[in-house]
Amino acid sequence: MNHDIKNNSSLPGLAPRSGAGLTPHSLLLLEIGTEEIPARFLPGAIQSLKENAATILSENYIHFSEIKAYATPRRLVLIVTGLPELQAGRAREVFGPAKRVAFDEEGNPTEAALKFANSQGVNVESLIVKKRDRGEYVAAVVEEKRLAVRDLLPEVLKKITLSIRFPKTMRWGNGSIRFARPIHWLLAMFGKDVIPFEIDGIKSSNMTWGHRFLSPAAFEVEEISTYTNLLKSSSVILDQEERKKKILEGVRRLSASAGGKPVEDEELIETVNFLVEYPSPVLCSFQKGYLELPKELLITVMKDHLRCFAIKDGEGRLINHFIVISNTKEENEETVRIGAERVIKARLEDAKFYFEEDRKKLLYERIEELRKVTYQERLGSLYEKTERAVSIAEFLAERLSPSVKGKLARAAWLSKTDLLTGIVREFPELQGIMGKYYAMHDGEDSEVAEAMEEQYLPAHSGGILPQTEVGALLSITDKIDNIAAFFSIGLTPTGSEDPFALRRQALGIIAILLERGYHLPLRDLIDKALQNLSSVFLSPGEIEEKIFQFFEQRLEPLFSGKGYSPDLVQSILSMSLDLHLKEIEGRLDALKRLKEDKDYNNFLLAMKRVNNIIPKEVIPELKAELLIEEAEKRLKEKLDYVKSDLPGLLKEKRYYNVINLLSSLTDPVNHFFDRVLVMDKREEIRQNRLALLKEVWRTASTIADFSKLRATL
């Protein structure tokens, strides 16, 4: 996690200027001491602190070499290096009278020019002439007075402090400002000098505090260069990267001593890192009997209740040890261990109770209970959602894998029943996972049990996909129902908000369809999902179109990321909802090869000539007997040949052969335009020639929309 900002001399308005007062590498230190700030607030606060500091310093024309930002639960710290004594030099242009007024016919300055120069404090010889709106005017380049950085810093530091963004802020006590937690002290120094400013009655100084428990006394900072070492001697490791390294090294060392490896979780590591100022890993244990619980349940209990790390053996099985990160010295680890083991025993005992109680009732027996649980106010109960899922699942099985229809329908009926169990109510993140364990306990088919967990995969973009056929189809089922349901009541993602994770679910559907090569157009899938919601909305066509566009927006970056140029992607996306995704990929590959062909530009130009002239409105059907010119007869003959071979090639997915076949129209099309007057004065002949060209375009458009393609250089 890099929280450094380098030299800002390239920022607009801050080009270095020569002059006195630039002393190298002056240091600025700001420490905001608070009550413990929630760990989840701090990564964003660090980023906000450094970015806002860079912006505010730049706005005040203050150069710097580097900005570093740090955080512990009790303090936010900014260290800036390379500040000068004075602001950067800068100039502004002030416009005066028109050139014809400022100078006489011989080019000598007039009284108006002299008065203007004098008013701006510049010599009349330094005036320049610049064009502006309706004519030429004289202008004075006025050097702004460069203020001492030290004099600017009180207001700058106050502004930086109050600009820090947090997910949630409040007013504390009788204070007037909003902050994540109450501010208790402010340390502000420039070089060896204190920068005086005040926030809500708290005055800045050069005093700070050490660790709340290990070194609670205040102490003075005389020089910024000694600051971090002074904190360390007071049991505060300021640098979050240093704390993280200490945590990881300790966790791995203690896990090895217990005969295993830690279950490393980046989210947990970051949380723990911002919970402590002096991390000390402590190895603890629990009774082996608890290992009979599902490992995911054990890991979740440890993470959620004690923010501790589980340990696994070489085969991935958990062992009865865990590691807690204390905010104290090593000599206190026995006290920490006793407390942690007492807490984890109570939590595991609760988990064991819920697990045993849940298994007393079969998942199948919980289906009726879903009627009592609201899925969404306008979308009905979980039972109604389950009914929709069963309908979609049976449709998918019939289209894609009839042999698993029975298992898939069973999995769909059971898919949401684990949401009613005690464990999932306590730990919602275990939905699906606990469903799998309960289904296995109930004696359900192994694929049905696996599908209970796999319905929620992939958990994130690029995540693991379902491994079983039933799981893959159930995952598609659940996701398309969610998308269709929320779109049907207008709860669609916005630019910054996607509370129901519909974008991720759409990407999940696309990833599964591509990975498994399912021959299922998105249009068919969306239509089926919307059929089950016909009672919810009034404009199915409008909603269908919005969902189509939603998927298109996901497909474009996906295929662009695979190396297909934007115009290629656009040429296929216009028909993507009627194609299965492997078919889209095959067509893109064929078009990519076409672009590398030396005759590509000629073919593209011919197709675009056709598209540019054909009318959008309906015209009479082509009549062969009205083709009177040799060139149009030849084009019709070639077109008939292409149309006869095209269906077979498309059916066999031989897309490059299709494109080669279409390319054979290039010469006949060009010959037609060279020899035939399309817009003939005779209405019947003109309409017939347009019909011929429209048929050429319609035939070519069976593979791609060539109007979207660009010529190669």
Q: Which of 363, 364, 380, 361 is nearest to 372 (CA)?
A: 380
Helix axes 666-675, 600-613, angle to 10 degrees: 50
Whether the per-residue pLDDT at 21 is higher than 60: the answer is no
Stretch 95-123: mean pLDDT, rounded?
A: 87
CATH: 1.10.240.10, 2.60.40.10, 1.10.730.10, 1.10.3720.10. Which one for 583-708?
A: 1.10.730.10
CB 352 within 8 A of CB 406: no
**According to the model, what pLDDT value does residue 23 have?**
44
CATH topology of domain 364-561: Hypothetical protein af1432 (1.10.3210)
**According to the model, what pLDDT value does residue 15 have?**
32
pLDDT in tens, 276-324: 999 999 999 999 999 999 999 999 999 998 899 999 999 999 999 999 9
Task: Please state which of the ranges 121-125, 466-470, 676-680 shows the lowest mean pLDDT.
Answer: 121-125
pLDDT band at 695 (very low <50, low <70, confident <90, very high): very high
**According to the model, what pLDDT value does residue 3 have?**
54
Stretch 97-112: mean pLDDT, rounded?
A: 87
pLDDT in tens, 328-362: 988 889 999 999 999 999 999 999 999 999 999 99
Q: 193 CB contacts (<8 Å, ≥6 apart)? A: 150
Percent of the chain clearing pLDDT 70 (strictly above): 96
**According to the model, what pLDDT value does residue 4 have?**
62
Tell me the C-alpha distance between 467 and 450, whole Å.
9
**According to the model, what pLDDT value does residue 6 have?**
60
Tokens (6 digits) for 646: 């095209």
Task: Please state which of the ranges 268-277, 368-377, 699-708 shows the lowest mean pLDDT.
Answer: 699-708
Stretch 87-109: mean pLDDT, rounded?
A: 85
**Could you tell me the maximum CA-CA distance found in the chain, to the nearest angstrom?**
106
**According to the model, what pLDDT value does residue 665 have?**
94
Q: 512 CB contacts (<8 Å, ≥6 apart)? A: 465, 466, 472, 475, 476, 518
**According to the model, what pLDDT value does residue 129 have?**
87
Q: Which of 213, 208, 245 is nearest to 327 (CA)?
A: 213
Instruction: Work out the mean pLDDT of the chain and round it to a whole number.
Output: 91
CB 404 within 8 A of CB 469: yes
Tell me the C-alpha distance between 452 and 433, whole Å.
7
| Parts of the chain belonging to CATH 1.10.3210 | 364-561
| Parts of the chain belonging to CATH 3.30.70.260 | 4-87+148-233
**According to the model, what pLDDT value does residue 538 have?**
61
Stretch 638-651: mean pLDDT, rounded?
A: 92
Please tell me the number of Cα atoms within 13 Å of 405 on its side-chain side.
Answer: 11
Task: Please report, as a single letter, which amino acid is at residue 633.
Answer: K
- Reduced to 3 states (helix: H, G, I; strand: E, B; else coil), residue 601 is helix
pLDDT in tens, 124-178: 888 888 888 778 888 888 887 888 999 999 999 999 999 999 999 998 888 889 9
Q: What is the pairing mode between strands 183-190 and 374-376?
A: unpaired
DSSP assignment string, 223-290: -GGGHHHHHHHTT----HHHHHHHHHHHHHHHHHHTTSEE---HHHHHHHHTT-SS-EEEEEE--GGG
Q: What is the pairing mode between strands 380-381 and 261-262?
A: unpaired
pLDDT in tens, 530-576: 998 977 766 667 898 899 889 988 888 888 888 899 999 989 887 76
Q: Look at domain 4-87+148-233 and name its CATH class.
A: alpha beta
Tell me the C-alpha distance between 30 and 22, whole Å.
22
**According to the model, what pLDDT value does residue 363 have?**
97
Stretch 372-386: mean pLDDT, rounded?
A: 95
CB 447 within 8 A of CB 403: no
Burial class (CB in 10 A: 0-12, 13-18, 19+), 449: buried
Whether the per-residue pLDDT at 462 is higher than 70: the answer is yes
Report which DSSP code applies to 265.
Answer: -
Stretch 356-375: mean pLDDT, rounded?
A: 96
Q: What do you get for the CA distance between the two ends of the chain, in Å?
A: 43
Stretch 682-698: mean pLDDT, rounded?
A: 93
pLDDT band at 11 (very low <50, low <70, confident <90, very high): very low
Task: Please report, as a single letter, which amino acid is at residue 382.
Answer: L
Give the long-range contacts of residues 369-377, CB within 8 A, separation 24 or more.
369/417, 369/420, 370/416, 370/417, 370/420, 373/419, 373/420, 376/485, 376/486, 376/489
Whether the per-residue pLDDT at 511 is higher than 60: the answer is yes
| Parts of the chain belonging to CATH 1.10.730.10 | 583-708
Q: Which of 345, 360, 340, 343 is nearest to 290 (CA)?
A: 345
Q: What does the buried/exposed string (b/e) look like for 651-668 if buried means 16 or more CB atoms within 10 Å of the residue's CB?
A: eeeebbbbbbbbbebbeb
Helix axes 522-531, 469-488, angle to 10 degrees: 60
Tell me the C-alpha distance between 705 and 697, whole Å.
9
Report which DSSP code applies to 495.
Answer: S
Task: Please state which of the ranges 94-98, 351-355, 684-688 shows the lowest mean pLDDT.
Answer: 94-98
Task: Please report, as a single letter, which amino acid is at residue 665.
Answer: L
Tokens (6 digits) for 9: 């001399």
pLDDT band at 18 (very low <50, low <70, confident <90, very high): very low
Stretch 415-443: mean pLDDT, rounded?
A: 96
CB 576 within 8 A of CB 603: no
Task: Please report, as a single letter, which amino acid is at residue 246.
Answer: K
Apex 357 CA angle, 356 and 360, nearest 5: 95
Stretch 247-272: mean pLDDT, rounded?
A: 96
